[in-house]
Amino acid sequence: MLNAVLAMNESAISGHASPFIERFENEFANFCGTRYAVACSSGTAALHLAARALPIRPGDEVLVSALTNIATANAVIECGGIVVPVDSEPETWNLNPHLLDSLVSRSTTAIFPVHIYGHPADMPRIASYADSLGLSVIEDAAEAHGAEIQGKRVGSFGDAACFSFYANKVITTGEGGMIVTDSLEIAAKASSLRNLAFGTPRFLHYEVGYNYRMSNLSAAIGCGQMTRIDEIIQAKRDLARRYTERLTGTPGLQLPIEKDGYRNIYWMYSIVVNEKEYGESRDTLQSRLARAGIDTRTMFAPLNIQPALLLRGAVKPTPCPVAERLWREGMYLPSTPTLTDSELDYICSTIRNGR
Ligand SMILES: *Cc1c(COP(=O)(O)O)cnc(C)c1O
């Protein structure tokens, strides 16, 4: 916090120049192991800019992880594309790469995997499938800053990747987002589109752009947050370990995993409740926790059942039985790393409730 405040004082003195934006972009690109980073106003804006920069064109089909924040799908739809939801792996809840070949069509141009709740999607498989057909890949890494596969950071696998700095994300600028990429072309295009796509001469525009800029003030907060990001991720991983210690062995509860060679940063500690084995439905457990003063959230509703997308005819209603089950049975627990042991004991004993 002190760092952020100091940084903000400095930025206030610097007038209308934007030194912190460039610094935040450089630091974040370094963090991800990519060449370029383009800061913008939100994770939603980052996804839209990346989809435009790729580009996704009207009529393109995009294979999108079914279990995700609606913003992943909106990016495709704003470009006139069609969302083709891909069902989840039962263990990691990420896009199941084995389903790609059954869903791909002549109109498919890209794959948008999501690193859900902090566990990386199977990027080696997804990238090699995409390569074999010449498809582009945009990673939605909004929940997975610093997550890794074999020591390689998420954000560095796709043609581009998008991060969010919303208040509940791994690091925050209040509102904010970032595109990272190794492609100068994508970075330049995204950077132009985020600022109304000014042309030459200035005030002639050859493309329709947006005001998706990040403010220098937000970037200053981002620089402050970068000094703590490793510590925050470690605290998230510690919290997950402390939850797992307390909940392991509870009948009917599926806990988050970390696949071999993967680094999960556990953005949200999520569980799946099997009613038959647990003895209570997810909804009943959620209400019981609420009465005990414990706030939880359900997992995302999958893209194949989203009314707004179906009404527009902008989504193929592919079968997603796993993601639909996760929507009914999945929930996440309080995930602030500052939770004390006694708070965790209270949450977990309420969940175990004699089980
Ligand atoms: C939060 C989130 C977004 C959207 O980011 P905002 O900064 O809130 O616009 C997109 N995708 C996923 C997976 C997210 O969790």
Give the torsion sign (CA, 289, 290, 291, 293): positive
Per-residue pLDDT reduced to its tens digit, 73-115 = 999 999 999 999 999 999 999 999 999 999 999 999 999 999 9
Nearest to 159 by CA among 122, 127, 193: 127
Give the model's pLDDT for residue 10.
Answer: 55
CA–centroid distance, 350 to ligand 1, in Å, is 30
CA–centroid distance, 341 to ligand 1, in Å, is 30
CA–centroid distance, 203 to ligand 1, in Å, is 32
**Best substitution site from 49, 69, 145, 212 to test ligand 1's pocket, by max atoms within 8 Å of Cβ?**
69
CA–centroid distance, 85 to ligand 1, in Å, is 17
Listing from the earlier edge strand, what are the strands of the sheet with 152-153? Answer: 152-153, 148-149, 262-263
**Best substitution site from 44, 67, 179 to test ligand 1's pocket, by max atoms within 8 Å of Cβ?**
44
Ligand 1 atom closest to 169 (CA): 1
Output the six-digit token pair for 222.
């981002």
Contact residues of ligand 1, CB 6 A cut-off: 42-44, 68-69, 71-72, 114, 140, 142-143, 164, 166, 177
Give the model's pLDDT for residue 13.
Answer: 45
Ligand 1 atom closest to 42 (CA): 7
CA–centroid distance, 307 to ligand 1, in Å, is 19
Give the model's pLDDT for residue 8.
Answer: 53
Ligand 1 atom closest to 47 (CA): 10
CA–centroid distance, 47 to ligand 1, in Å, is 9
334-339, Cβ contacts within 8 angstroms, sequence gap of 24 or more: 334/294, 334/295, 334/296, 335/236, 335/239, 335/266, 335/267, 335/268, 335/269, 336/239, 337/232, 337/235, 337/236, 337/238, 337/239, 338/235, 339/239
Is residue 331 within 8 Å of 278, Cβ to Cβ?
no
CA–centroid distance, 155 to ligand 1, in Å, is 15
**Best substitution site from 47, 166, 172, 300 to test ligand 1's pocket, by max atoms within 8 Å of Cβ?**
166
Give the torsion sign (CA, 85, 334, 179, 92): negative
Which residue numbers in the chain have pLDDT < 50? Answer: 13, 15
Separation CA 97–CA 91 (nearest Å): 13
Output the six-digit token pair for 251.
């009948």
CA–centroid distance, 166 to ligand 1, in Å, is 7
Separation CA 257–CA 267 (nearest Å): 13
The pTM of the full predicted model, rounded to 2 decimals, is: 0.95
Give the model's pLDDT for residue 4.
Answer: 54
Residue type at position 249: G
